[in-house]
Amino acid sequence: MNMFFYKEKILSPGQLKRLSDHKYSCESLSILDSVLQPWWEWLVSKIPLWLAPNLITVIGLIINILTTLVLVYYSPDAKAEAPWWAFILCAFGLFAYQSLDAIDGKQARRTGTSSPLGELFDHGCDSVSTVFVAISACIAVQLGAYPSWMFFQCFCAITLFYCAHWQAYVSGTLRFGRVDVTEAQFTIMGIHLISAFLGPEIWSIKVPVIGIFELRHLIFVMTVVCCSVPLYQLFIDICNGGVGKNGSTVAGTSVLSPVIPLSLVIVPAFIICRKSTEHVYENHPVLYILAFGLVAAKVTNRLVVAHMTRNEMDYFDSSLIGPAMLFLNQYFNFFIPEHVVLWFCLIWVCFDLIRYSRQVCLEICDHMRIQLFKITPNTTTQNLQQQSSNRNGTTSVSNNRQSRSRRHYH
């Protein structure tokens, strides 16, 4: 079953060994993270010990995707007004994802099941979630009326997520600023709630001081300001050199090498958009960004794998076959409608992302002898617990021991 999608393994034995030795390194200055810690601690205490951390993560992602797709259903062009309850549902979906994403690591430590696979799985889900969250925010403010602004907003969010892991690939440490992911997520939740209770048309109101700008344009300004800080930090890390030999990355490669895979996504997305005779992006903005966003998610996943395995990142990716369909269709003036090719592109990208993620997870599970969505039983602890239960089944001391053993087991 491991080779169901690929003829050869994706990860070499050397990569798997280096992955096993990987230690998670993170620095966070987030303002809201410290405020939300009591909520996250309470929430994880209510999670049953048999629930695998990766299952918590994927449940949150599914909720986030489904609630966003409801919004997309009512506003596929990011211009139509969706029902008020769809915005509330989307805000709830994002809050649920954020909360479950925050406690999966706590659940792993609580059950003694922390592993590099959990970190990889978590970041992989985040890369996909980023695409859907960016799209939902654009729909909430009806940014489809300004296609160029919407293109910038979405690809800016996607690029920032990629750059965060680029910086980790260079420095070996994933850094979060004082205003980062958590703050951005709560801002988007607020946008959804404003659209729900005041209507999306609220964003078209002119700013009193600067009459030519609408409220929705302030989001663009906020994006530019928020982007400047992490991009500046990345620039500093690149200039100072990486932690590898002679200032290289953790894999010993050039600190500038990750720019190529990202460019192979962003540049074609821009060119195809501008060269389209059928205005495929303007007519299908959500579908277009979703297709190219998932390509970027796949490339980001490969960057995370390259960082954790301290391995060089290949420039070409099979998911780029999707955008190549659109490019060739334009170049050779095929008679296939561009929106039909765009659907084929999205289908291919989804399939390619799923098969890659599945294969990498299975290879890591096989190597580390763990299961992806299930906590692997510890036979020794289980036997000791059973023996203790047999000897002292009626005493309170025995009950306490069983409780401690059960927590250790999970």
What residues are labeled active site? 123
Angle (CA) 145-148-151 rounded to 5° is 105
Q: Which of 379, 264, 298, 311 is nearest to 14 (CA)?
A: 311
Q: Dihedral, CA atoms, 35, 99, 188, 200, nearest 10 degrees?
A: -120
Give dist(CA 192, CA 85) in Å, integer: 10
In sequence order, the 6+-apart residues with CB closer than 8 A to the CB of 7 are none
| Cα 93-96-101 angle, rounded to 5 deg | 125
149: phi then psi, degrees, rounded to nearest 5 = -65, -40
Q: Where do we find the tokens 């958009």?
A: 273
For 389, counting Cβ atoms within 10 Å of its Cβ (0-12 exposed, 13-18 middle, 19+ buried), the class is middle
Q: Which of 350, 334, 358, 365 is nearest to 297 (CA)?
A: 350
